[in-house]
Amino acid sequence: MTIAAEARPADAVASAPAPFFAARDVHAYYGESYIVQGVDFEVREKEIVALLGRNGAGKTSTLRTIARAAQPSLKSGEIWLGGMPLHRMSTHEAARAGVQLVPEDRRIIPGLTVEQNLIVAQVAERPGWPLAQIYEHFPRLAERRRQDAITMSGGEQQMLAVARALARDLKLLLLDEPYEGLAPTIVREIESILQEVKRIGITTIIVEQNAIAALQLADRAVILDMGTVAYQGPAQEVLDNADLRHQYLAI
């Protein structure tokens, strides 16, 4: 755990346990625009954190910075996951370290069947759940395993995207707007997938326009404003505090 000890800033109390995930003063740019302006928060193991904020607050950019996407580019700050320095890793190294980003468009690989999409995730080192376990949790995918994944419904694709993440050695799931652009019936389907994620106990950061839905699922909320953390606390508190919601979320 010596590496984990480094994860704490020098002024941290020595007896405090190292957090499972920590973003420390993260700054990131999208080309010329300065989007993530010193984001600082922690996530405990098995916790679901809702990352909220108005449009342009830097939610998706923060999520993508954590996943070490090519864009936005990390300029300074540290990102630690279970003692591993994500800020020093490339995209695929971060994924191997256990970060799995499910972006807004769900990242299904077109032209590949459901099963091939899952296999691709397992060929890489450090696979997670075997196919049998995935199919047990998501029987719908088992039924459709020979189908071109892109021909499935939005909800099924979301299910596959989550399953693909589980097919890896998953430590931190990043969900970017899982409800975006989906019909209400499918939103309910996704809700049940996310309940499943919660039940299994996967550490998750969820970015969602539909703040209420995200807060109902999450344990804690982190609210971003102008690229920095404006509030963090229990999700229930945000649900109860109308002023807070109005100020930062306009709801």
Partner 1 sequence: MSNITEAGLATGYARAASRQPALVTGTDLLVIGAFVLVVLTMPWWLVLIAGYEALATKIVIWAIFALGFDILLGFTGYLSFGHAAFFGSAAYITGLSLKHLTSDIVPAMAISFAGLFVIALVIGVLTLRRSGIYFSILTLAFAEMAHALILSSTLQAWTGGDNGLTGLPTPTLLGSPMRGLTVFYFASAFLVAGFIAALVIRRSPFGLMLRAIKENPMRLEYTGVNVFAYKMSAFVISAMYAGIAGSLTVIYEPYVATEYIYWSTSGEVVIMSVIGGVGTLIGPILGAGFMLYFENVIQGFIGEQWKLVLGLIFVFMVIFLPGGFVDLARQIWRSLGHRIRARRYNVPDMAPEADEDRLRRRLDREEAEAR
Q: Does 70 bind partner 1 (CB under 8 A)?
A: yes
- Tell me how far apart the alpha carbons of residues 114 and 126 are, in angstroms, rounded to a whole number: 20
Among 9, 130, 201, 234, binds partner 1 (CB under 8 A): 130
Q: Does 250 bind partner 1 (CB under 8 A)?
A: no
In 71-203, the DSSP E strands lie at 73-81, 84-85, 99-102, 172-176
Q: Identify whether the C-beta of residue 103 lies closer than 8 Å to the C-beta of residue 181.
A: no
Q: Identify whether the C-beta of residue 55 lies closer than 8 Å to the C-beta of residue 103.
A: no
Amino acid at 196: E
Of the two residues 35 and 197, which places its CB atom closer to partner 1 in the complex? 35
Q: Does 181 bind partner 1 (CB under 8 A)?
A: no
Among 7, 52, 57, 213, binds partner 1 (CB under 8 A): 57
Count of C-beta atoms within a 10 Å radius of residue 198: 16
**Window of 40-48, 54-62, 182-190, 228-236 that interacts with partner 1 by CB under 8 A:** 54-62
Site for partner 1 in 89-118 (CB under 8 A): 91-92, 95-96, 100-101, 103-105, 107-112, 115-116
Q: Which helix (H) or strand (E) holds 37?
A: strand 33-43
Contacts of 72 (CB under 8 A, 6+ apart): 28, 29, 30, 35, 36, 61, 64, 65
Of the two residues 214 and 235, which places its CB atom closer to partner 1 in the complex? 214
- Tell me how far apart the alpha carbons of residues 251 and 238 are, in angstroms, rounded to a whole number: 11
CB of 126 to partner 1, least distance (A): 7
SS3 category, 140: helix
CA atoms within 13 A on the CB side of 191: 13
**Window of 5-13, 53-61, 181-189, 193-201 that interacts with partner 1 by CB under 8 A:** 53-61
Of the two residues 69 and 235, which places its CB atom closer to partner 1 in the complex? 69
**Crossing angle, helix 154-166 and helix 184-200, to 10 degrees?**
20
- Tell me how far apart the alpha carbons of residues 153 and 166 are, in angstroms, rounded to a whole number: 20
Of the two residues 41 and 135, which places its CB atom closer to partner 1 in the complex? 135
Of the two residues 102 and 213, which places its CB atom closer to partner 1 in the complex? 102
Q: How many residues interact with partner 1 (rule CB under 8 A)?
A: 52
Of the two residues 94 and 221, which places its CB atom closer to partner 1 in the complex? 94
Residues near partner 1 (CB under 8 A) are 30-31, 33, 35, 54-57, 60-61, 64, 67, 69-71, 91-92, 95-96, 100-101, 103-105, 107-112, 115-116, 119-121, 123-126, 130-133, 135-136, 139, 142-143, 145, 148, 164, 168
